[in-house]
């Protein structure tokens, strides 16, 4: 066992640190859940991409550095430690791109990935429907065969980033007569500005349009935008949800940096004795998530797949994020009530963690049934 990084990895870390020190905006960008902030974050993505820092683990051909998993983790540590902005392109980068690498065509990768890496095309996910959240297999939006492609109709909801994004990806029922609900689904990419699409932004708790409803009325999608085989959408999408819950969506670097900022805030302000325990637990939790990820990455590099273990990640980071940001608000006292601070924005974002990417109730069922071997039964 060895927790040291190679000289090459250290050099990569230092190169990233130096670049970030020179480029990270000194004043924080406006919230990416506003039109103004979305535009500012797109510009930041372009700046990252210009020096190949937006997708370091991707192949060079698509704008990456082919850096691998360990260097990606190091980059993430440096990125968040530098106080760099949140990633507006995250849905595409962490959910759609891995799916395209595994199941897309060469043509799709060449067409979709470079503009994604540059922030020119920002992707929204379109999974949930009004009657299909945790029970995703029950979704009803349909894809009907037409000349040269498909016509999408129905309603998607809770679509993160869709208020300002360009394109979306999601599952559609292409064979209503399939024997089981998760069969007969097709995975498609579509344009949020195509004829027949209506985007209705939804304000989250703080009033910002962080997600949206999508109404689709015979929206044409060419065959070129089907991912994998028609009817195989479920299998392909499930691979992506593992990414969503696992380490690629929430790298430990984000929490490491947040815990260090909380520690600094506590040193500045002090606080009653109870705060001491909570601040220490935030530091301990960041270290726990960091080394848990190192262990998972080590197994992954040895050829293991992460599988249902990603449910452990999801439960951990979503609960940890709330505890961390709540502690900061409590340390801030009266100022903690102000909505236009970075901690408040983080807190509101954290509150959604146990709900999205599969509720924590569903994750605990997965842990109990698939990792502990308990029988399926009454919900």
Binding site for other proteins (CB under 8 A): 1-5, 9, 70, 260, 263, 276-277, 279-281, 283-284, 287-289, 291-292, 294-295, 297-299, 302, 309, 312, 315-316, 361, 363-365, 367-369, 371-379
Q: How far is the CB of 223 from other proteins (least distance, A)?
A: 42
Cα separation, 258 vs 279, in Å, equals 11
Q: How far is the CB of 248 from other proteins (least distance, A)?
A: 17
The residue with tokens 């209503």 is 176
**Largest CA-CA distance found in the chain, in angstroms, rounded:** 69
Q: How far is the CB of 265 from other proteins (least distance, A)?
A: 13
Q: Which two tokens stand for residue 336?
A: 């903690």
Our CB check for other proteins shows the closer of 152 and 297 to be 297
Cα separation, 252 vs 236, in Å, equals 26
Q: How far is the CB of 255 from other proteins (least distance, A)?
A: 12
Our CB check for other proteins shows the closer of 19 and 292 to be 292
Q: Is 218 a catalytic residue?
A: no
Give long-range contacts, CB 8 A cutoff, 24+ apart: 8-12.
9/70, 9/71, 9/74, 12/67, 12/71, 12/74, 12/75
Q: Which two tokens stand for residue 352?
A: 């959604």
List the end-to-end C-alpha distance of the chain, in Å, as a whole number: 41
Catalytic residue among 76, 129, 213, 244: 244
Q: How far is CA 186 from CA 52, 110, 127, 178, in A?
A: 33, 21, 12, 12
Our CB check for other proteins shows the closer of 159 and 293 to be 293
| DSSP-derived 3-state class of residue 145 | strand
Our CB check for other proteins shows the closer of 106 and 302 to be 302
Cα separation, 61 vs 66, in Å, equals 9
The continuous run of DSSP H or E covering 39 comes out as helix 35-50
155-189 as b/e, with b when 16 or more CB fall inside 10 Å?
Answer: bbbbbbbbbbbbbbbbbbbbeeeeeeebbbbbbbb
Q: How far is the CB of 196 from other proteins (least distance, A)?
A: 41
Cα separation, 226 vs 321, in Å, equals 35
Cα separation, 323 vs 288, in Å, equals 14
Q: Which two tokens stand for residue 369?
A: 């049934």
Q: How many CB atoms lie within 10 A of CB 35?
A: 11
Our CB check for other proteins shows the closer of 61 and 280 to be 280
Our CB check for other proteins shows the closer of 195 and 373 to be 373
Q: How far is the CB of 273 from other proteins (least distance, A)?
A: 9
Q: How far is the CB of 97 from other proteins (least distance, A)?
A: 24
Active site residues: 244
């Amino acid at each position: 066992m060895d927790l040291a990084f190679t000289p090459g990895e250290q050099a990569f870390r230092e190169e990233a640190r130096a670049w970030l020190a020179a480029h990270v905006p000194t004043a924080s960008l406006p919230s990416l859940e506003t039109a103004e902030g979305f535009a500012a974050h797109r510009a930041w993505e372009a700046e990252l991409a210009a020096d190949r820092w937006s997708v370091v683990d991707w192949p060079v051909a698509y704008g990456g550095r082919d850096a691998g998993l360990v260097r990606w983790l190091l980059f993430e540590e440096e990125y968040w430690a530098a106080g760099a902005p949140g990633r507006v392109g995250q849905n595409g980068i962490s959910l759609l791109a891995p799916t395209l690498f595994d199941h897309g065509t060469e043509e799709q990768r060449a067409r979709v990935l470079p503009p994604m890496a540059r922030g020119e095309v920002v992707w929204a996910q379109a999974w949930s429907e009004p009657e299909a959240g945790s029970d995703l297999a029950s979704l009803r939006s349909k894809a009907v065969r037409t000349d040269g492609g498909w016509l999408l109709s129905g309603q998607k909801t809770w679509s993160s980033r869709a208020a300002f994004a360009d394109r979306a990806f999601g599952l559609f029922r292409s064979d209503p007569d399939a024997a089981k609900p998760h069969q007969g689904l097709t995975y498609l990419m579509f344009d949020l500005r195509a004829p027949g699409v209506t985007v209705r932004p939804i304000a989250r708790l703080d009033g910002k349009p962080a997600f949206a409803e999508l109404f689709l009325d015979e929206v044409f999608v060419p065959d070129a935008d089907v991912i994998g085989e028609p009817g195989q959408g479920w299998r392909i999408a499930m691979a992506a949800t593992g990414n969503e819950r696992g380490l690629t969506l929430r790298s430990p670097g984000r929490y490491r940096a947040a815990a260090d900022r909380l520690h600094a805030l506590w040193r500045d302000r002090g606080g009653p004795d109870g705060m001491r325990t909570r601040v220490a637990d935030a530091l301990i939790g960041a270290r726990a998530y960091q080394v848990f990820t190192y262990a998972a990455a080590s197994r992954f590099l040895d050829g293991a797949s992460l599988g249902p273990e990603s449910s452990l990640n999801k439960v951990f980071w979503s609960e940890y994020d709330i505890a961390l940001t709540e502690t900061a608000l409590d340390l801030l006292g009266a100022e903690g009530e102000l909505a236009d601070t970075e901690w408040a924005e983080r807190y509101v974002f954290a509150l959604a963690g146990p709900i999205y990417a599969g509720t924590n109730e569903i994750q605990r069922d997965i842990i109990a049934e698939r990792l502990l071997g308990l029988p399926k039964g009454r919900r």
